[in-house]
Each structure stands twice: as structure tokens, then as C-alpha cells.
Structure 1
Amino acid sequence: MTVLVVEDEKQIRDVLRRYLEREGFAVLATGSGAQAIELLSGGAVDLAVLDLGLPDVDGTEVLRFARAQTHTPVLVLTARNAVEDRVAGLRMGADDYVTKPFSPTEVVLRVRAVLGRTQGAQRGEESAAGYGGGRLRIDDARHEVVFDGARVELTATEWGLLTALAAVPGRVYSRYELVNRVLGYEFSGYERTIDSHVKNLRHKLGSAGTEVIETVVGVGYRLGLDRDR
């Protein structure tokens, strides 16, 4: 499951990313409210940990967008510890509220609790997913990919890249999003490294590699196969 950490202090972002990834979550991270809205719009975020004191867009606007537009659960993280602030955040749709200073372990436990309440029923589905009429099959439980009947051996980065694209087939992911999710970097200078991983992944998928991982010029990449129903 993917957690979006929206926090303008990089040190706090890094700490939360480390603790969440240690517990098995995929993590997207940003210090920008505008970029948080863009990432939420993609539909691949299961929960947002949101600081209300952002430098560009007020965190309450991000909270309103998350709840009204994408129905994403939100754990508010803020230095605003007055009772009226906590009540206001909950009334705007926050699922839980943690004030600074905080324990990273407590944040992880609260993330799990919120996800357990909001999405527990959805996690009973089969771990394997098919795409393109069965051509591509991704099995999370077995950490296995099969394409056109043959098992495909992937590196950890290639697995992360493919599963990120498969989260919402047809949706275009920017290089920033992919490098953020798969490699954990937040700096634009690293974004082009995704291109080499895409090239390797396509090679392993054979002659149809460019059909499976499509390039959207000037934007990024998308999975070119629809998810089987």
C-alpha cells in the first residue's frame, strides 16, 4: 500500500519515509501542497500523512481535496496543538490527528489503524492481478511476474517500477513520481535514472516491451495493458 507523506521539513519527511518503508509501505514524499494535490489526483495513494503548515498551499486545502475529490484517508500531522485546531481538522475530514513533536512509531501505528478501518474490506481480494487478457500477471504474494506464459525475473527496482505503473493502468506517471516511489529520491537530477530501468524492464518483456510500458513524450510512462476484470 502507498502512503503519501506531505511535510515541508525534509528531516521529518526522511524519518517518516524510513519508518514507513521499514513496515512494508511504498512511500511518496513531498514538501509541496501543490505537488501533493497532483500526486493525490493520480489515484495511487492509499493514505496521506499531511502537515497543515505547508509553504505554498495551506494544508487544509490539500485535506479538503483529498477527502472531497479522491476520498483518500488523511492522517493530519501538525504543530497546531490547540483543541480547536484538532477539532477543526477532524471536522474537515481528517481520519486522525497527531501533533508535533511525535513518535514515528506512533505515526506508523496510527497509519495502520486508519487503513484497517477504511480499507480493510478491500484487502481480501486475490493477491494476483491480470492485465491484457491474461498476458501479464503480477502476484504480490509470490513476488512473481508472468508475461505471455513465461516467468520474468526482475530486480527490486524493476519490480517496484512495474507494480507502480500497474497500480492504475493507463494512468501516466511522471519520472518524478516513479523515482520518488521506486528509489526514494526527491531530487529532479535523479529522475532520468528511471529511463534506464524502463529500458531494462522492456528488454525482459521481449518484443512487446514497448507496448506494455508505453512512453508519453514529455510526461512519463504508463502501463499499456488494461487490468482484467
Structure 2
Amino acid sequence: MMTNLFSIFDPSTSIFNFSLNWMSSMIGLILIPFYFWILPSRINKLWNVIVFNLHKEFKTLLKNKKGMTLIFLSLFYFILFNNFLGLFPFIFTSSSHLSMTLTLALPLWLSFMIFGWINNTNHMFSHLVPQGTPSILMPFMVLIESISNLIRPGTLAIRLSANMIAGHLLMTLMGNTGNMLSLFMLNLLIFSQIALLILESAVAIIQSYVFAILSTLYSSEVY
């Protein structure tokens, strides 16, 4: 049962043994050039407002480091496009796989750690012992802070993939029961699926924002 249930997340679509599922990650890139030649629409203006506010927030967290906000804005766009594309029928949700989310989280965290320990070694050591910690608790705090630091890329990756999987599984389970329901229950199921789809749209935005903002916070700790 569980194998069949989770098989909806397995890459299986292929032409001439070439997997097309991961190509869904590139569909969002096709939409970007349209912003450079079409007339500004309300959607475009709304998107610019969102980008401007995110830029200001990231710049505050990064202590006005020039250019770094572009990295996290691009990360936000990329995850948001993939999360939303997964809500369409027959489109593979690449952000529901650890191979995708861990590929985004691990290099970012590793680059932050290498930069911090090479350039700001004393500052990185000071993060292991919070200010005001009693002397007897310092060894335990170093151990706890080290473990929490090491699991950061894993928690980033698992948080995104688990949230995307959970909603899709629930929608799939509810959708598979449609053949056995009466007309009244079928109408109720349709309304429930619409409500879940709206909820998943909100989750797609929230999870992309959480991933980007946590990456920004982790990077702000290394200098």
C-alpha cells in the first residue's frame, strides 16, 4: 500500500529512456523572459512589490551586504515556481524530493561554513557558547550548538520536501475515493479538494519563503 502510495512521487515519465520529470524544474525559467517585453500588468506590478519587499527584508538580515540578496531572491523564485508547478495535473513536483531540496540546501550551508570558519574563526567559535551560559554548561552547549549547526541542511531539505509531499498525498488519497462515493459525498469531496488546493497554494508560497529566509539567517551568522 505504502509503495503504491508514494510511487506518485517517483520519476517515471520518459521518452526514449530520457526522464522528462525533472524537466519541470526548467518550465519556470521559460516564463521569465516574458517580463522583458510585455506591457506591465497588474500581476507584474504585484510581483515587483513582492520582490521589492523581500529585497528590503533580506538586505536588513544580511546587514546591507551588496549583491547577496540576489542569491536568495533567485532561490525564492526557483522554489516557488517548482512548488506551484507541482499543483498542476501530470506535472512532476521536483521540490518534493530530497535529491532536489538537499542539492539546494547543502551547498549553501557548506559554503557559509567554509567562509565563516576561514575568515571569521573567532566569531564562529563564539556562536558555540551563547552569552551568559554558566561555566558548567559550556561543554554541553558546545555539543548542542554543534549538532544543531550540522543538521541545518537536513532540516531545510526535509522541511520543504515533507510539506510538499504531505499535501499531495492527502489530495491523492481523497481523489482516489471519488469512484465509490454518492453524489452528495462527491460534491463534498470536490469542495474539499478545492479547499486543499488553496491551502497547498499557500503552503507553496510559505515554504519557498521559509527556505529563503532561513538560508539568509544562516548566512548572516558567519560574519
TM-score, L = length of structure 2: 0.26
Structure with the largest fraction of helix: 2
TM-score, L = length of structure 1: 0.26
Q: Select the structure of larger CA radius of gyration.
A: 2
RCO comparison, higher one (Cα < 8 Å, 6+): 2
